[in-house]
Amino acid sequence: MLREAGVDSTEDFSVPPDPSMGDIAFPCFGIAKEQKKNPAEVAKEIELRIKNYELRIVSAVKAFGPYVNFYLNTGELARLVIEEVKEKAEEYGNNDDGNGRKVMIEYPSQNTHKEFHIGHLRNICIGNTLTRLYDKSGYKISLVNYVNDFGAHVAKCLWGVITLRRGKEPEDNKLKWLGEVYAEAGNYLAEHPEKKDEVEDLQNKFEAHDPSIWPLFSRTRDWCLEGFEKIYREMGISYERVFYESELKERGQQIVDELLAKKIAQVGERGAIIVDLTEYGLDIALLRKGNGAGLYITSDLALAEQKFSAPDIDESINITGDEQNFYFKQLFKILELNGFRRKLTHIGYGLVNLPEGKMSSRQGRVILYDDLREQVRAHLTTESAERHPDWNREKLADITDTLTMAVLKFTMQKHEANKVIVFNFAEEVSFEGYSAPYLLYAVARINSLIRKSELKISHSKIKYELLKESEEKQLLILIANYPEVIKKALAQYNPSVVAKFCFDLAQKFSEFYNKHSVLNAENEELTAARVALCMAAKNTLVNALGVLSIETVDEM
């Protein structure tokens, strides 16, 4: 429409502050600057040109200061939006921006021999959503994980098993037990620093595959991997490949030697190997300890090389807490100095804290994923049983299981990705407000409405022109904006954009539903049109929740 009127601009549309001023506003500042005119004058000129065209979707156009505002025809908007949602089904909101390029996405990159806490949960939730956003944007996905199964944290845990637990092993919940041992060992060593040499000796032994420690390392590592796999299944993750630090350490050390030979790295204090990155504003990077032991960065050098051994990978993306942002800047700069020219992207996110402050695995101050899941499930089971005493045990369990995972996933993603969050239990399990139960209830309510409708709706026969109310239009505009929401969320690496859209859509539906009758409308034709609108709203909400990897329920 604007191009037909001779307007070629990349400026974004916005929503006028008052509905009486129209539905969509187009800013004229950029055009006015190019033409060296007053923005209000340019807006008036565009208004006059557009009025010469017959437009079905636009009922009126009017200049308001430096903006050209458009009033949409609700019936025509309904026809376009509802039919597109129906036609595209699960692919509604998709785009082809990726053009088939293949990205390798790595998460959650957790450590063995530590507990799986809600910080890891947020990592998986964000990773799952970003994967779906890339998929909806036309990219091919290679999903991988990188497990840190070597290093000082493992040595500390194994030392605790041998010294503090006297080699006694647990009968069940072995992953949680290892996390407890790790925390206990960390606290003990903080009070007894003279014991740290024992841990260092132990680390040297298992990194050398010493038979005196290797069987314990292998056995406890397997416990962790089994525990992780159970969580991955619950979270719906299936990896194409898993990398292990233990398999990369040796090659990483070779790369450090190569960096020394190329004079990219140098010997620092006490024989440590470093790379001086101060000229790039990145300080000094430590690649190898003075005693010869490697660090995370040692193995990460080899990991980058391994990832691109597959020739069809266009970009490698890894997702971690944003406290590692600086670390990855150092890593990427070292790889660049070494001639590495493949595209590497790090996406950071904010931590999950306790009400009393930052979580710490070392100090045992964490909220475990298993514990939180069971707490949420118990609450929702009681709540649902009180609301629906007629449900049998199997139905109650199925619905509360779905609600539990929805609460955990939505809570981890409804905040800006770079924000630190504090888990508020009462707020997250509430059936009102910015919560998962509120969203799933909106889906269940529309399902109930559709079941109660005895009309067999044929979209080709629906009289969309009967949809004229302001609440109907606002709901349609929001549904129509969903494809832009997908683009924005990926551009910002921010799942909360999708979460906020879900909440806004549920709210707009509620406003429409509370003000206008659907099943008892003035006539059956209007009922059919409104039911079609409700179905489009539900399908879009289910689509968006699916991007957040949240399943819905038929009733609540």
pLDDT tens for each residue of the chain, 556 residues long:
676 666 776 667 888 988 889 999 999 998 999 999 999 999 999 998 887 676 788 889 999 999 999 999 999 999 999 999 999 999 999 999 999 999 999 999 999 998 888 889 999 999 999 999 999 999 999 999 999 998 889 999 999 999 999 888 888 889 999 999 999 999 999 999 999 999 989 988 888 889 999 999 999 999 999 999 999 999 999 999 999 999 999 999 999 999 999 999 999 999 999 999 999 999 999 999 998 888 999 999 999 999 999 889 999 999 999 999 999 999 999 999 999 999 999 999 998 876 655 555 555 567 889 989 999 999 999 999 999 999 999 999 999 999 999 999 999 999 998 888 887 888 999 999 999 999 999 999 999 999 998 765 655 589 999 999 999 999 999 999 999 999 999 999 999 999 999 999 999 999 999 999 999 999 989 999 999 999 999 999 999 999 999 999 999 9
The DSSP secondary structure of 335-400, one letter per residue, reads HHHTT--SEEEEEEE--EEBTTB--BTTTTB--BHHHHHHHHHHHHHHHHHHH-TTS-HHHHHHHH
User: How many Å apart are CA 172 and CA 284, to the nearest integer?
Assistant: 44
For the chain, list the domains and their CATH numbers. 19-72 (3.30.1360.70), 107-353 (3.40.50.620), 370-547 (1.10.730.10)
Query: For residue 202, how many C-alpha atoms fall within 13 Å in the half-sphere facing its CB?
Result: 22
pLDDT at 208: 86
Distance between CA atoms of residues 125 and 131, nearest Å: 10
Phi then psi for residue 291, to 5 deg, are -85, 5
Contact in structure between 287 and 273 (CB atoms under 8 Å):
yes
**Cβ atoms 532, 462 nearer than 8 A:** yes
Distance between CA 153 and CA 189 in Å, rounded? 12
Structure tokens, 344 = 């590497």
- The predicted pLDDT at position 454 comes to 75
Question: Is residue 108 reached through a cis peptide bond, with omega within 30 degrees of 0 on the bond before it?
Answer: yes
> CA separation (Å) from 59 to 53, 179, 551?
11, 64, 39
The verdict on pTM exceeding 0.85 is: yes
Q: Which of 46, 6, 54 is nearest to 25 (CA)?
A: 46
Q: Residue 420 has what pLDDT?
A: 86
